[in-house]
């Protein structure tokens, strides 16, 4: 089997990829993740997923390299990782009673022949109406400061949701496994 490389240091993406029971290594690509002026969320995540995979191609010349990137969008504004309690609280207050659309870019690069597959997988979260006390309890319990949108859907964050919409719930965590399996099959990888 070809060497599989995840171009990420994210433990969330590593945990998701391990569900496929394929051996893989991971390595953090060093790229600038700044959005270009006027760049749409969809274009941004596709571009960054591709750049993450491409950044490691020369170091891993005979690998299938997976790149992924995600942004959350609320009212046309891209939400970054909050990093602090106060910013997370502001994000969740802004999302209360509304919807946040997540765009997850995915790229699979065959570094041996340069073949690249790229996709953007959308997913929408509809939030319950949240008061400050509930948000503060959640943030103290989960501390999701490294997560776009300020919640962990795979944990207690699910209690903040009224509903979800999308073809692949794993895209919400940051690595759309359904689309990735399609790409791996196209690259000749047997899954399972």
Q: Which of 25, 69, 77, 131 is catalytic?
A: 69
Per DSSP, the residues of 27-67 read -------PPPTT--HHHHHHHHHHHHHHHTTTTSTTEEEEE
| Mean pLDDT on 104-108 | 97
Class of domain 3-186: alpha beta
> Is residue 69 among the annotated active site residues?
yes
Top-ranked range on mean pLDDT: pick from 33-37, 55-59, 76-80:
55-59
The pair of structure tokens assigned to 43 is 């274009």
Among 14-23, 29-38, 114-123, the range scoring the smallest mean pLDDT is 29-38
User: Mean pLDDT across the stretch 152-173?
Assistant: 91
Residue 90 near residue 59 (C-beta atoms within 8 A): no
Report domain extents, the chain.
3-186
- pTM attached to this predicted model: 0.90
N residues, the chain: 192
Q: What's the number of CA atoms in the CB half-sphere (13 Å) around residue 69?
A: 24
Confidence bin at 134 (pLDDT 50/70/90): very high
Question: Is 182:108 a contact under the CB 8 Å cutoff?
Answer: no
Residue 1 has pLDDT above 80, yes or no: no
Question: What mean pLDDT do residues 88-116 have?
Answer: 96
């Amino acid at each position: 089997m070809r060497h599989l490389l995840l171009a990420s240091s994210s433990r969330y993406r590593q945990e998701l990829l391990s569900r496929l029971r394929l051996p893989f290594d991971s390595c953090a690509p060093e790229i600038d993740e700044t959005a270009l002026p006027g760049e749409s969320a969809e274009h941004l995540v596709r571009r960054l997923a591709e750049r993450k995979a491409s950044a490691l191609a020369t170091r891993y010349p005979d690998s299938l390299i997976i790149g992924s990137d995600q942004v959350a969008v609320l009212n046309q504004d891209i939400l970054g990782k909050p990093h602090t309690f106060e910013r997370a609280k502001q994000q969740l207050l802004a999302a209360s009673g509304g919807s946040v659309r997540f765009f997850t870019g995915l790229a699979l690069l065959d570094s041996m022949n340069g073949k690249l597959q790229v996709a953007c997988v959308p997913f929408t979260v509809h939030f319950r109406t949240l008061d400050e006390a509930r948000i503060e309890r959640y943030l103290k319990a989960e501390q999701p400061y490294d997560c776009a949108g300020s919640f962990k859907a795979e944990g207690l964050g699910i209690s903040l949701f009224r509903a979800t919409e999308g073809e692949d719930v794993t895209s919400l965590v940051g690595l759309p496994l359904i689309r990735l399996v399609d790409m791996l099959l196209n690259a000749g990888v047997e899954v399972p």
